[in-house]
């Protein structure tokens, strides 16, 4: 079990470093007897760019009493409600199709029961391939990660229904497309 947690910690670290997020951002010590280089200190600090992950996270919630599963779509950075739970997806990443399928997401879950004050019940990384590794521990509901959705415009291929004339390397331009007999389509 510890080797699996270490594997996922390494995966989360790799995902964060690939997204350009430093795990510890401490300024480098500057010797006291040196002056700043020309142009250094003139420009204001530029905030780091946001990590490039998915734009929404697909989760599945289970009501343990009724046994009814529910698909939950959580846009990154926005709160969504499932029963008494408020779910906030902070980051999600899915590996490309050419690699081993894996989806990792950083999720925060709060419980807002009417008879109790609101309390945070989960904050951490969830993995689609191992839903039990870091799971939401709640007596009434289960929530786990399914996939990361990118709603960016996809590249579409141009599809034509017109017949295409395939030419052999030694063909001439005078070749015509031969018509098939009527019974050939059966």
How far apart, in whole angstroms, are the C-alpha atoms of residue 132 and residue 89? 18
* 23-36: pLDDT as tens digits: 334 344 444 444 44
Closest residue by Cα to residue 144 from 105, 171, 170: 105
Quick check: pTM over 0.85?
no
Q: Quick check: 13 pLDDT over 60?
A: no
Closest residue by Cα to residue 7 from 119, 106, 109, 133: 133
Instruction: Assess contact for 152 and 56: CB atoms under 8 A.
Output: no
For residue 64, name the pLDDT band (cuts at 50, 70, 90): very high
Q: Positive or negative, the Cα torsion across 54, 77, 56, 146?
A: positive
Q: Quick check: 98 pLDDT over 70?
A: yes
pLDDT of residue 137: 86
Instruction: Assess contact for 56 and 149: CB atoms under 8 A.
Output: yes
Mean pLDDT of 50-78: 87
* 168-181: pLDDT as tens digits: 666 565 666 677 77
Percent of the chain at pLDDT > 70 equals 55
How far apart, in whole angstroms, are the C-alpha atoms of residue 11 and residue 21? 14
Mean pLDDT of 14-41: 46
Instruction: Assess contact for 72 and 60: CB atoms under 8 A.
Output: yes
pLDDT of residue 178: 72
Per the listing, tokens 């009434």 go with 140
Domain ranges (residues) in the chain: 53-151
Closest residue by Cα to residue 71 from 56, 60, 85: 60
When comparing pLDDT for 47 and 93, which is higher? 93
pLDDT of residue 182: 79
């Amino acid at each position: 079990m510890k080797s699996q947690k270490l594997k996922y910690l390494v995966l989360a670290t790799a995902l964060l470093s690939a997204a350009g997020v430093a795990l510890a951002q401490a300024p480098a010590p500057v010797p006291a007897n040196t002056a700043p280089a020309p142009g250094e200190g003139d420009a204001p600090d530029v905030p780091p760019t946001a990590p490039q992950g998915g734009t929404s996270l697909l989760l599945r919630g289970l009501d343990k009493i009724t046994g009814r599963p529910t698909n939950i779509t959580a846009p990154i950075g926005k709160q969504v409600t499932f029963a008494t739970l408020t779910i906030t997806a902070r980051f999600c990443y899915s590996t490309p199709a050419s690699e081993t399928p894996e989806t990792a997401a950083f999720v925060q879950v709060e419980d807002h029961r009417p008879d109790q004050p609101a309390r945070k019940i989960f904050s951490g990384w969830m993995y689609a391939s191992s839903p039990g590794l870091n799971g939401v521990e709640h007596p009434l509901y289960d929530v786990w990660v399914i996939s990361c959705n990118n709603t960016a415009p996809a590249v579409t291929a141009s599809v034509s229904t017109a017949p295409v004339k395939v030419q052999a390397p030694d063909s001439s331009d005078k070749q015509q497309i031969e018509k098939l007999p009527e019974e050939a389509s059966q």
